[in-house]
Amino acid sequence: METSDYPERDGPNKTKRGTYAVALDVPWRVDGAAGDPGAPVVLCLHGQWMEEDFFALLLQKLHDLPFRFVTLRAPYPLKVPNENKIGASWYPYDGDQKRFLHELSLTEGFILGGLETAERACGLAPRKRALLGFSQGGYCGSFLALRHPDRFHGLIVSGARVKTEALEAEMRTAAQSEMRVLLCHGERDEAVPMSAAEKSAHGLSEAGVATELKTFASGHSIGRNQVRAIGEWLQEWAG
């Protein structure tokens, strides 16, 4: 048992605190037309309340490309609002920013571990990697990719903002590694306003990161037009 720094109570009944580990088996899947183990890998992170199979269905047109698409399920079960089913979340959030950054760092470890597990199981040795995240997956995915430009060479964020205010040094390092970013956003998105995407694009560009912002006549979704644009961007990015 790991003990904490909480003070013990006075008196005969003293309190000790600690933690215990809980292991969860979280599903992943790999899709794509590539036969080469060195083909580029795209790590796909779904939005809150989604799961990996639904997100893969939304992205299925991409699976004809010569890449491998690793789609993970988020580790935290979460009830879908107004529906009698459970979805998944990448992190818990209660508004406390210090705690939130801590949770993001934990999520970063989960995601990197899942990616390594899937690549090892499928015998993949990609020469390049990109990260594609929608909504909550785009938010935590951009945090991860910009902090690890040694692993990720491209970043696609749909329907989310990039936490540029917490990543100034990381963005400058990513710029030096020739990271490229595509931001996709719906003009009618009521969950994440267009101004958030524009601010993200400005912050990334100011840091020197090659960034493109594409807008779509849609709401908070990742539809066919976005998927088509993402596919074109990936093919150009892969060279």
For residues 8 and 14, is the Cβ–Cβ distance under 8 A?
yes
State whether residue 129 is helix, strand or coil: strand
For residues 107 and 140, is the Cβ–Cβ distance under 8 A?
yes
- CA 147/CA 137 separation, integer angstroms: 15
- CA 137/CA 142 separation, integer angstroms: 8
pLDDT per position as a tens digit, 48-95: 999 999 999 999 999 999 999 999 999 999 999 999 999 999 998 887
pTM of the entire predicted model: 0.91
DSSP letters, 143-166, are HHHHH-TTT-SEEEEES----GGG
* pLDDT for 1 beyond 50: no
CATH number, span 28-238: 3.40.50.1820
For residues 186 and 155, is the Cβ–Cβ distance under 8 A?
no
- Size of the chain in residues: 239
